[in-house]
Amino acid sequence: MSSKSRTIAALLALSTCLATPAFASDAESCKTVRFADVGWTDIQVTTGATSVVLEALGYSPQVSTLSVPVTYASMKNKDIDAFLGNWMPSMTADVKAYFDEKSVEQLAVNLEGAGYGLVVPQYVADAGVKSLTDIGAHKDKFNGKIYGIEAGNDGNRIISEMIAKPENKLEGFELVESSEAGMLTEAEKAMKDNQWIVFLGWTPHPIMGEMKIHYLDGMGDSGFGSATVYTNVRAGYTADCPNAGKLLSNLKFTLEMEGAMMDPVLKDGADPKEVAKTWLKAHPDAVKPWLDGVTTFDGGDAAAAVDAALKG
């Protein structure tokens, strides 16, 4: 082949390469990203926001509603890929065995500045109930009940452990397990009538943020108090699916962002994913850091794909 022919052949090969899209390193099996959603509104909206972005990138997110114990067992069995709601330190007892055996990985912090613990209405705190050990002296006023959320929740487990410890003076108290919405209904009803109630509270939460409540002191090393929320993935996920894994590791939310998205879900029964999409459309810059080092599933421009999806 002449020098001229070799040059033409090289140019044709180069043009063919440039015309062919570069493919991301994720296998076809990574296209479906399987999330666990434990029914908490904050995790519903963060999972919804992540799903909106993944769909724009060409993935097919799949969300299953599971309890906390089933979520971690499912990640261990590789039936679930990711969970955005590892609240720490309150969930330490729930996740330690999985982290120790390395069947689940704590990927990255996705929210800082959160809070978690037992709360009472401010008028109850003003009457002298400001610490955990103050509750027992007013058993009759509290009807011997502490309100939690769904069965299997880490907060319920902590409350049960508190009731069982003699030093907390909670003998005869009952943990009332319910849904988040059911617990809030009980709290709102009690506060409307100036009744005494103690229940599980957390931040971010728009409804609790509007309530005049007091977080009780004296939580010790129970896991209640300041909280950090992590993204967890099944063992090996980021190696198996590095592009989707990179997106998940980049996820960062704020208290303000989550509160804004949770508000219409809690107050109006809006769909979490649709609320998340509306919020992202109004705040497109929030997504940009999530896309650092990320491509579409077929290797294209992630930022352009997400921008087009949010404008569509």
Range 257-291 burial, b when 16+ CB lie within 10 A, else e: bbbbbbbbbbeeebebbebbbebbeeeeeebeebb
Lowest-confidence segment of 12-21, 80-89, 141-150 by average pLDDT: 12-21
Please report which confidence band the pLDDT of residue 209 belongs to, taking 50, 70 and 90 as the band edges. confident
d(CA 82, CA 110): 13
- pLDDT value at position 221? 85
Q: What pLDDT score does 207 carry?
A: 86
- What angle separates helix 255-268 from helix 41-56, to the nearest 10 degrees? 110
Other CB atoms within a 10 A radius of the CB of residue 209 amount to: 14
| Separation of alpha carbons 197 and 171, rounded Å | 17
Residue 211 burial by CB count (10 A; 0-12/13-18/19+): exposed, middle or buried?
A: middle
pLDDT at 37: 95
- Using one digit for the tens of pLDDT, what is the confidence trace for 150-189? 888 889 999 999 999 999 999 999 999 999 999 999 999 9
| Domain 22-113+227-311 and domain 115-226 have a common topology | yes
Q: Kindly give the pairing relationship between strand 82-88 and strand 225-234.
A: antiparallel
Mean per-residue pLDDT for 241-249? 98
Q: What is the pLDDT of residue 17?
A: 42
N residues, the chain: 312
pLDDT tens digits, 109-154: 999 989 899 999 999 999 999 999 999 999 999 999 999 998 888 8
pLDDT, tens digit (0-9, with 9 covering 90-100), for 262-297: 999 998 999 999 999 999 999 999 999 999 999 999
Mean pLDDT (whole number) for 13-30:
59
pLDDT at position 128: 95
Mean pLDDT of 68-81: 97
Query: What is the model's pLDDT at position 286?
Result: 95
For 56-66, b/e burial (b = at least 16 CB within 10 A) is: bbbbebebeeb
Backbone angles phi, psi at 147, to 5 degrees: -95, 125
Angstrom CA distances, 45 to 38, 217, 220, stand at 12, 30, 31
| Extents of the domains making up the chain | 22-113+227-311, 115-226
Q: For residue 5, what pLDDT is reported?
A: 44
pTM value is 0.83
pLDDT score recorded for residue 18: 41
CATH code for the structural domain at 115-226: 3.40.190.100
Q: How far apart are CA 101 and CA 169, in angstroms?
A: 37
* Alpha carbon 139 to its chain's center: 34
Q: Is CATH 3.90.660.10 correct for 22-113+227-311?
A: no
* pLDDT of 4 higher than 70: no
pLDDT value of position 153 = 87
Kindly tell me if the per-residue pLDDT of 226 is higher than 90.
Answer: no
pLDDT bracket for residue 210 (50, 70, 90): confident
Provide the sign of the torsion angle of the four alpha carbons 254, 260, 261, 266, taken in this order: positive
Give the pair of three-digit tokens for residue 206: 């728009």
* Angle in degrees, 0-180, between the axes of helices 242-250 and 41-56, rounded to the nearest 10: 140
